[in-house]
A and B are shown apart, each in its own frame.
Chain A
Amino acid sequence: MKTKLGLLFLGMGLVFTISCTKYPPSSDRLLEDLAVLTQYDTKVDFNLYKTYSISTPVMKVTDDGTVPMTGQTADAVLAQIDKNMKARGFVPAVAPQKPDLGIQVMYFQNTTVYTYYYDWWGYYPYYPYYYPVYYSSYTTGMANIELMDLKNAGTDNRAAVRWNAFIRGLLTDTHTTAEITGRVDQAFIQTPQLQTTKP
């Protein structure tokens, strides 16, 4: 009886020890999230800008170079930016009118390779220290929306960026076009300062 109870106690102790994982379950789902980071120029009054122009196409920057990006998602992103700019009071510039703001969208795709060591509980005392190295990688995608100040661009054609938005996620191929355009909306939502009065 005493042995059985002792084993029970030891078993519970082992369960306790094994369950002592620091990280909670389901934290992996964060990898499927699209995070939105925005930054605007706090010294700028956006009321001073009235018109805008969106440059096409979206440019895709990968480990191998830069190429134009076409397709439904790229078109949807540009359309959503256009919709949000209009909703904030900005008006599309009509050629040959020079726009106050220029919008450019770039998409970055990078693969990161990293090494790690297996987490050993210990090592065999009669063997030399040896920790096997494992390699893994992850691919990230990030859309960068830049709002450039063409109104005050210098003669050297360099324009200051007044607002930019990064939409970042690991490429898990699980994002729909609706989710991505929703993130474009979120970039505007979290920047209420980006608006003007209609001309």
Chain B
Amino acid sequence: MKKILLIFAVFVLLTSLVQGQDKPASSLGFTPRSYYTFSWNTTFTMGDFNKWVGNASPAGFDMGGRYFIKNGLAVGWNLSWQRVSQIYDNETYTIPDKGIAINAENYRFTWMIPFQVALAYHFIPEKMVSPYIGLGIGGDYMEHHLMIQEYDIYKTRWDFSLTPEVGALVKFGNFNQWGALVAFNYKWTTNQIELYETTSKNLQMLNLKVGIAMIIR
């Protein structure tokens, strides 16, 4: 897994160094041909997922690329890594028909690798602040872990996911090749957690992404 991520990081770096021809600065700003982002991702679990892990988690990163195909319309991809985790003290699990009860401190966490193709529409792509709306469609690889003492009980699941997003690409200057990305999205997945008494379906979450963007003219 580490090798794949390293290769991907190098790939993004190399592709971002490929430049298009400069256009004359006839107007203030420019419409990018493409841009690549690297963001810090904070996850807020929702619904059933929030019952599994209630904490918001800043442990996540996201890489993405967008390629403008017509006016403000762009297509692209996202690859992320996220983890949500929480320790629960003195929690009791019961199996009533067998008369069993287990009380222990337990650590719950979910490790996620989302991958999506994305569609985004930038309302004013040539401006320094370029707000957009987008939709990501793809999947996740998730591992749900329940740790008690030295035991690690876990299940892995793949899913389908949808992620509507709003955000803005902010250039550091009208003609600057670098900028910032701020985005907020809601994610719905078909993933589920089935560990002991916990059954959660259609895991949902909110994500706040703040990062850096390399903009290609």
8 Å CB contacts to A: which residues of B48-90?
Answer: 59, 61, 63, 81, 83, 85, 87, 90
Given contacts A38-B100, A42-B98, contact A20 B92 (CB under 8 A): no
* Closest chain B CB from A165 CB (angstroms): 9
Q: Is the CB of A37 within 8 A of B13?
A: no
Q: Which residues of A lie under 8 Å from residue B90 when comparing CB positions? A: 186
Q: Is the CB of B149 within 8 A of A35?
A: yes
A-B contact pairs, 18 of them (CB 8 A): A5-B178, A9-B214, A10-B10, A12-B38, A13-B6, A13-B9, A19-B61, A20-B2, A24-B83, A24-B85, A27-B147, A31-B150, A36-B102, A37-B102, A39-B100, A39-B101, A121-B2, A186-B90
Q: Is the CB of B98 within 8 A of A190?
A: no
Given A9-B212, A37-B103, A170-B150, output 4 extra A-B contacts at Cβ < 8 Å. Answer: A10-B10, A24-B85, A30-B150, A36-B101
Given contacts A6-B13, A26-B87, contact A39 B98 (CB under 8 A): yes
Q: Is the CB of B107 within 8 A of A31?
A: no
Q: Is the CB of A35 within 8 A of B103?
A: yes
For residue A33, which residue of chain B has the nearest CB? B105
In the complex, the 8 A-B pairs of residues with the closest C-beta atoms, listed nearest first: A13-B9, A35-B104, A190-B101, A24-B85, A33-B105, A40-B99, A42-B99, A36-B103
Given contacts A16-B61, A37-B100, contact A169 B214 (CB under 8 A): no
Given contacts A37-B102, A186-B103, contact A30 B214 (CB under 8 A): no
Q: Is B1 an interface residue (CB 8 A)?
A: yes
Interface residues on B, range: 35 or more
Q: Is A14 an interface residue (CB 8 A)?
A: yes
In the assembled complex, the Cα of A12 lies from the Cα of B40 at a distance in Å of: 10
Q: Is the CB of B104 within 8 A of A12?
A: no
Provide the B82-124 mask, 1 if CB < 8 A to any CB of A, else 0.
0101010010101001111111111101010000000000000
Q: Which residues of B contact A (CB under 8 A)?
A: 1-3, 5-6, 9-10, 12-13, 16-17, 38, 59, 61, 63, 81, 83, 85, 87, 90, 92, 94, 97-107, 109, 111, 143, 145, 147-150, 178, 212, 214
In the assembled complex, the Cα of A24 lies from the Cα of B59 at a distance in Å of: 9
Q: Which residues of A lie under 8 Å from residue B16 when comparing CB positions? A: 9
Q: Which residues of B lie under 8 Å from residue A169 when comparing CB positions? A: 149
Q: Is the CB of B13 within 8 A of A9?
A: yes
Q: Is the CB of B99 within 8 A of A17?
A: no
Q: Is the CB of A20 within 8 A of B103?
A: no
Q: Is the CB of B5 within 8 A of A20?
A: yes
8 Å CB contacts to B: which residues of A175-197?
Answer: 186, 190-191, 193
